[in-house]
Amino acid sequence: MSTFLIVSTGTGNSLYVADRIPHDGMCFTEDLLDGRCTIPGDTDRLGLIFPVYCGGLPWSMRRLVSDVLAERDNRSLGYIFAIATNGGLPLYALHDMDRTLQDSGLALSYGNTVRMPDAYLPLKKKAVTDNEAEAIAAKAEDRLRTIISDVQDEKIMLPHKGPFARIIRKLSSISMVPGKQEKLTVDSSACSRCGTCISICPMENIKEEDGGIVFGDRCVSCFACYHRCPERAIRFPGASGQYRGLVETARLRRR
C-alpha cells in the first residue's frame, strides 16, 4: 500500500495536518502543477489536504484536480481522501472537492474537516494569539485522531450536498482565482530583505526589485507573507498581530 499526499497550504495548517497522516510521499500542489514533483505510479491511496477558501477549494487544488489528476493514468488509485482545514465554516468545500473529482472522472472515498486557527485577516483584522491558536490546535487533536484511524481503515464517508452548495461552489471558483493584491504593503523601513516572503509565497508572487519587495498579480490572499514576516514589515489595513503557525517557516519554503 502506498499513500501519497497532495498539500495546498498558505500559512501551514494544512501541512501540519498532512504531517500527522501516515504517508509514503508528499508534494505541494504548486510543485505538481509546475512539474517539479510527480505522483508515483504505484500510489494506491491519494490524500488531498487543503484549506477552505470562500467555502470551497483553493485555486491551486482545483487546478491540480482538473488539470493534473484528470490527465493522469489513475487506475492504481483505490482510495481517495480529502481533508479540508478551515476557520470554523467549512461550508461545502468537501462537496466542491467531490464534484471537482467527479468532473475529472475520479471518485472521493472519504472526506473530513478540521478546524484550525484562522489566518484570514479581512474579516476579523486581529490575528489569533498564540494562546488562542494553541487552544484551537488542542481541540483539533480529537478530530485528527479520528481522521488518522478512518483513513487507516479506508473508511468510506462522503460529504453531503447542502441547499446552497452549487452557488457557493461557483462563488468560490470565481472569487478565489489569483489576482492583484492591492491591500498588502511592505514597510520598507522595517523590511530587512531577508527573503522569507519571497520564498514562502505559494504563488511565487513576491519579488525583490530595485532593493524593494513587490507583489505581482497572482496573489490568492493566503496571508502567509503577512503572518510569517520576521520583521512584521508586511502590512494589511487595520490588521494587527501575527499568527505564527504550527509548522516551522522553513517547511513552507518553495525554493
Mark 198-228 as b/e (b = at least 16 C-beta within 10 Å). bbbbbbebbeeeeeebebeebbbbbbbbbbb
Q: Pull the grid cell for residue 200.
A: 514562502
Segment 124-183, which members bind ligand FMN (CB under 6 A)? none
Applying CB under 6 A, what is the total number of residues that bind ligand FMN?
A: 25
Residues facing 207 on adjacent strands:
214
Give residues 31-90 in contact with ligand FMN (rule: CB under 6 A).
Answer: 51-55, 85-90
Q: In angstroms, give the least distance from the CB of 59 to ligand FMN.
A: 10
CB of 117 to ligand FMN, least distance (A): 7
Closest CA to 221 of 122, 124, 125: 122
- Pair type for strands 206-209 and 185-186: unpaired
Nearer to ligand FMN, 52 or 191 (CB): 52
Cβ within 8 Å of residue 174, ≥6 positions away: none
To the nearest whole angstrom, how small is the minimum distance from the Cβ of residue 77 to ligand FMN?
Answer: 23
Q: Least distance (Å) from ligand FMN to the CB of residue 167? A: 13
Contact string 86-115 vs ligand FMN (x = CB under 6 A): xxxxxx------------------------
Q: Which of 4, 5, 6, 13 binds ligand FMN (CB under 6 A)?
A: 13
Alpha-helical segments (H) within 76-229: 93-103, 121-124, 130-152, 165-175, 196-200, 224-228
Residue 221 makes contact with ligand FMN by CB under 6 A = yes
Say how far apart CA 7 and CA 107 lie, in whole Å.
18
Binding residues (CB under 6 A) for ligand FMN: these are 9-14, 51-55, 85-91, 116, 118-120, 221-223
